[in-house]
Amino acid sequence: MDHQRVNAIARSHHPIGAPISGVTVNKVLRRAARRANARILELGCGQAAWAMQALAHCPDGHADAVDLNPYALERAEAAAALRDLADRLTLHERDARTYVPDGDYDLVLCVGATRAFGGFAGTLAAAGRHVNAHGVLIVGERFVEAPPSEWPNSADAGALHFSDAGALDRGKARALGSGEAGLLDSSDAGAVAAGDAGSLGSGDAVAVDAGDGGGLGAGGAEAFDSGDAGPVDAGGAEAFDSGDAGAVDAGGAEAFDSSDAGAVDAGDGEALDAGGAAALDSGDGLAGLTDLPGLVDAATAAGWQPIYAHVSDPAEWDDYEWSCTGSLLEWALDNPGHPDAPEAARAARERRNRWLRGYRGVLGFATLVLRRAS
């Protein structure tokens, strides 16, 4: 089955290719606080979800979005037309690594796409070249949230292989204590409880959960609701439809494969031990990831200061993983006669097993808002 098509199907019910809610996207973009006519660049964009939402925050801005996956870019084009953003969004079907920097973007985004640049450090260097002197760089990356002693079957070899070794090779993954789960506490998650339509502050974008009907705050900013069917025409708000979720190519943003923590490659078997648990090996790519303090240290060492960060919570991870695996299974069930249906179902089962019996609670994901130190 075509890898890019797997990505497209897997992302059909999740707006972005990372364990981040729509509420979080708006919160992070508000903290970036770019001018109304900002120049925006998203590298490894998938369906350009971040770029389009950034344009909602910058009503006179323009965005470039770069990815290799034609399925994703086709959906991005349709979504941009639906949201009346086609004249402000330029899509580039090319490898994000070869996009020529001009160093004059106000906001550069690379969330869940660090494997395209060889990890977190490489992303800071490559994406940073596009950011102007006073600009903001937003990078989303995985980190190790549990010490190796807590990894399932850590003595077993290689059942869960990360070809993307991730951010940094610090020799070992530093364990996080129970009180060090992240930079932000649960009150910073930005979620609005079911049935709530309240704003997140005067002039702020309103966080709308799947149970909301698209409520808007005083600022009339954008809603990002997986249950919405299209743009919300109230106070200039914009909603991301669940169909806006996009496939992400291996050359661009995070693919539905090893970079997502659970390999679903056709040649990658489930590799389960007798107890049925997916093994995580300390000698595998997971050991190349740092913990959250190490991720922040790497950013500052590269000359960037984190002015804000969001650490994805368990609910965001669960929504992301259930959406990816469920979308593939649903497609297979709806298309029983399609030659790719068995492989789509197998890929979903393998990933679900690796998540539930492997990296759930082990991997974290942080989205950092960065500015240059000088």
pLDDT in tens, 183-238: 333 333 333 333 333 333 333 333 333 333 333 333 333 444 433 333 333 333 33
Which CB contacts under 8 angstroms, 24+ apart, belong to 119-124?
Answer: 119/164, 119/165, 119/166, 119/167, 119/168, 119/288, 120/166, 120/167, 120/168, 120/290, 120/295, 120/298, 121/167, 121/168, 121/298, 121/302, 124/298, 124/299, 124/302, 124/304, 124/370
Q: What is the pLDDT of residue 291?
A: 93
Per the model's pLDDT, the better-predicted residue between 314 and 208 turns out to be 314
Strands 304-311 and 363-372: antiparallel
- Calpha distance 306→301 (Å, rounded): 11
Q: What is the pLDDT of residue 212?
A: 35
Strands 105-111 and 131-144: parallel
Whether 365 and 18 have beta carbons less than 8 Å apart is answered as: yes
Whether 72 and 249 have beta carbons less than 8 Å apart is answered as: yes
Q: How confident is the model at residue 145 (pLDDT cuts 50, 70, 90)?
A: confident
Q: Say which DSSP state 323 is in.
A: H
**This prediction's pTM:** 0.69
Q: How confident is the model at residue 152 (pLDDT cuts 50, 70, 90)?
A: low
Q: What is the pLDDT of residue 287?
A: 54
Mean pLDDT of 247-273: 35
Amino acid at 298: A
Per the model's pLDDT, the better-predicted residue between 175 and 140 turns out to be 140
Superfamily of chain region 3-372: Vaccinia Virus protein VP39 (3.40.50.150)
Helix (H/G/I), strand (E/B), else coil: 335: coil
Whether 65 and 80 have beta carbons less than 8 Å apart is answered as: no
Q: Looking up tokens 């450090």, which residue turns up? A: 121
CA dihedral 333, 334, 340, 342 (to 10 degrees): 10
Mean pLDDT of 72-77: 91
Q: What is the pLDDT of residue 15?
A: 67
Whether 147 and 173 have beta carbons less than 8 Å apart is answered as: yes
Let me know how many helices (H) and strands (E) the chain has, helices first. Answer: 8, 7
Tokens of 256: 């539905």
Q: What is the pLDDT of residue 321?
A: 94
Mean pLDDT of 262-282: 34
Beta bridge partners, 139, equal: 110, 368
Q: What is the pLDDT of residue 331?
A: 92
Q: What is the pLDDT of residue 274?
A: 30
- Calpha distance 121→299 (Å, rounded): 8
Mean pLDDT of 366-370: 98
Q: How confident is the model at residue 7 (pLDDT cuts 50, 70, 90)?
A: confident
Q: How is the chain split into domains, by residue range?
A: 3-372
Q: What is the pLDDT of residue 225?
A: 40
| Window from 137-141, 185-189, 304-308, 368-372 with minimum mean pLDDT | 185-189
Mean pLDDT of 122-132: 96
- Calpha distance 265→298 (Å, rounded): 30
User: For residue 86, is pLDDT > 70?
Assistant: yes
pLDDT, the chain, mean: 72
> Residue 373's Cα: distance from chain center in Å?
25
pLDDT tens string 13-54:
886 889 999 999 999 999 998 999 999 999 999 989 999 999
| Helix 3-10 × helix 70-82 angle, to 10° | 30
